[in-house]
Copies of this chain bind each other. A is one copy, B any other.
Amino acid sequence: MIGVFDSGIGGLTVLKDLSAQLPGYDMLYLGDTARAPYGSKSADTVSRFTLENVELLLRQDVRLVVLACHTAAGVAMKRLQSTFTVPIFDTVAPAVDSAVAHSRSLRIGVMADRTTVDCGVFPTMILEARPEAKVFLAACPLLVPLTEEGWVKNPLTRMIVKKYLHPLKVRRIDTLILGNPHYTLLSSVIQTKIGRRVRIVDSAACVSTRLRRYLTAHPDLDRTLTKSGRIRLVFTDLTPQIEKAVEHILAPSLPLESSADIRQLPPT
Residues in chain A within 8 A of chain B (CB atoms): 33-35, 40-42, 44-45, 48-49, 114-115, 141-142, 145-146, 148-149, 151, 156, 159-160, 163, 236-239, 241, 267-268
Contact = CB atoms under 8 A, between A and B. Distances in A.
A267 B163 CA distance: 38
Nearest to A155: B159
24 contacts: A33-B41, A34-B35, A34-B41, A34-B45, A34-B49, A35-B35, A40-B148, A40-B241, A41-B237, A42-B238, A45-B236, A48-B267, A141-B145, A141-B148, A141-B149, A142-B142, A142-B146, A142-B149, A142-B151, A145-B145, A156-B156, A156-B159, A156-B160, A268-B268
Contacts of A163: 156
A142 B41 CA distance: 18
A155 to B, nearest CB: 9
Contacts of A44: 237
A33 to B, nearest CB: 7
* Copies of this chain in the oligomer: 2
A185 to B, nearest CB: 16
A267 B142 CA distance: 28
Given A141-B145, A156-B156, A268-B268, 18 more contacts: A34-B41, A34-B45, A40-B148, A40-B239, A41-B237, A41-B239, A42-B238, A42-B239, A44-B237, A45-B237, A114-B241, A141-B148, A141-B149, A142-B145, A145-B145, A156-B159, A156-B163, A159-B159
A165 to B, nearest CB: 14
The 4 closest A-B pairs by CB, nearest first: A45-B237, A145-B145, A35-B35, A42-B239
Contacts of A115: 239
Contacts of A238: 42
Contacts of A146: 142
A23 B48 CA distance: 38
A156 B151 CA distance: 14
Nearest to A114: B241
Nearest to A146: B142
A49 B239 CA distance: 16
Nearest to A43: B239
B145 A42 contact: no
Contacts of A40: 148, 239, 241
A149 B39 CA distance: 12
A149 B139 CA distance: 10
Contacts of A267: 48
Nearest to A268: B268
